[in-house]
Amino acid sequence: MFASTLVSFALLVWLAAAKVQFLGMGIAGGDFGCEIDGSCPTSSTQLPLSSFGMGGGDGPGQMTHFVEDDGMNIFRLPISWQFLVNNKLGGDLDVTNLAKYDKLVQACLATGANCMIDIHNFARWNGGIIGQGGPTDDQFVSLWTQLATKYAASERIVFELMNEPHHLDVQLWAATCQKVITAIRNAGAVTQMILLPGSNFDSAATLATEEGGAAALMALTNPDGSTDNLLLDIHKYLDVDNSGTHAECVTNNTEAFGQVAEFLRKAGRKGIVSETGAAPNGPDCMTRFCEQNAFINRNSDVFIGLVAWAAGSFDTSYILSLTPNRNGGKFVNNALGAQCVVGTWKETSEDVSSSSISTGSTPVSGTITSSATTTTSPVTTTTTGSSGTQASGSSSLTAPTTTHSGAWTMTVSLGREMAILLIGLVLAV
């Protein structure tokens, strides 16, 4: 009877946590003009600060809407390296440009959400790869040291080291990232989440392979030797070449995300899907994008967050636009955002509620540990592309291994519906 109670309790805890902790949106504009060779003309930057009379979209208004109306709690704020240093590679952060970007950061923090600083340069500066013939590691470290120093006191800042590295030596890239991690922590930002992106445009389809480099990234540590709050950064689109430039959705990516989930479970680590999107009017996109995001939520034991692409300064006519429309002075999501981003997240919560399981509140800052034997994470965001195509597939939902005080271990590998049935059978006994 005692064992049955423990099994029931473990399954209830797992089901209660069966949605990502962080849901959010990319608030684009600071990345406008960036190409995959790392060239980012500052004249193309359109920070979404129209509410400050600075042009672009109404990023602060959108973020307020997403928090108050949809419950989102994380936003990705892309910006180019060139803009931050006013085209002076290795130089100090430009006072004027940093002040503009900081207006967006502060507007994000004011909502109570987590705010992701995303350097949107594809691991490059004007064609040269960081630490591999282009900018030196020291120049990249200097950028992040200055940013970490500025935001060290803000626990809800998230450091996304780089948007979509590609065509580079992943071992050298991992070594570069280790220097940056150490610099960020030594600058006083000791608790914030740091996102570690792999090669091949950070694609979920290849992250867990040698080409993607996830294993090398997961070997990186904080200065104290821990891996707390070091997360795998994950991207994936649903079109034919994973570029996010085609309207048709050809996959629901469950096979790709299933592979990453299995890798993270075996490694005892966690990741966040910081960029994924689909065309609101694209063939099969409503079905497949919803299927993908539901799958990510069901695998919340290893995926702690999902950030959709994108709103901000994008017009509602942009192929992947999730920019909300204004209706009677209020923001209203388009159907894809309402159903596949917000809907799949809230439906998970409602499913849990209907099973008489209380999820409680979701904290938004603290420590994400790397232990493989815990059911919960004590937590106390242009142009993109990839060369690969991921076929549609399916994968079973696997719960993490749970260790109890009685020194016995249970591993669960089954779907939500079967888990609920099992609980009923156990309670009946």
pLDDT in tens, 253-304: 999 999 999 999 999 999 999 999 999 999 999 999 999 999 999 999 999 9
| Per annotation, catalytic residue among 275, 291, 347, 350 | 275
Report in angstroms the alpha-carbon separations of 179 from 22, 173, 286, 380: 27, 10, 41, 26
**Is the residue at 415 inside a domain?**
no
Cβ atoms of residues 260 and 204 within 8 Å = yes
Cβ atoms of residues 271 and 305 within 8 Å = no
**Is the residue at 421 inside a domain?**
no
How many domains does the chain contain in total? Answer: 1
**Is the residue at 325 inside a domain?**
yes
pLDDT at 371: 47
Half-sphere exposure of 282 (CA within 13 A, CB side): 29
CA distance 35 to 385: 10
| Per annotation, catalytic residue among 155, 160, 164, 347 | 164
164 among known catalytic residues: yes
**Is the residue at 419 inside a domain?**
no
pLDDT at 368: 79
* Phi, psi dihedral angles at 400 (to 5 degrees): -70, 160
**Is the residue at 67 inside a domain?**
yes
**Is the residue at 418 inside a domain?**
no
Q: What CATH number is attached to the domain comprising 46?
A: 3.20.20.80
Report, as ranges of residue numbers, the positions in the chain whose pLDDT lies below 50: 1-4, 7-8, 10-16, 352-364, 371-427, 429
Tokens of 103: 């207006």
**Is the residue at 417 inside a domain?**
no
Q: In the chain, what is the straight-line distance between the N-terminal and C-terminal CA atoms, in Å?
A: 8
Would you call 324 helix, strand, or coil by DSSP?
coil
pTM: 0.83
Residue with tokens 């980012």: 40
Q: Which of 280, 388, 378 is nearest to 336 (CA)?
A: 280
pLDDT at 370: 57
- Residues 149-159: b if buried by 16+ CB within 10 A, e if exposed: bbbbebbbbbb
pLDDT in tens, 342-360: 999 998 765 543 332 222 2
**Is the residue at 422 inside a domain?**
no
pLDDT at 375: 34
| Residues contacting 93, CB < 8 A, separation 6+ | 84, 85, 143, 146, 147, 150
CA distance 30 to 410: 47
155 among known catalytic residues: no
pLDDT at 366: 56
Tokens of 324: 């909300």
Containing H/E element for 252?
none
CA distance 269 to 369: 8
- Residue-range definition of the domain harbouring residue 265: 21-398
pLDDT at 398: 29
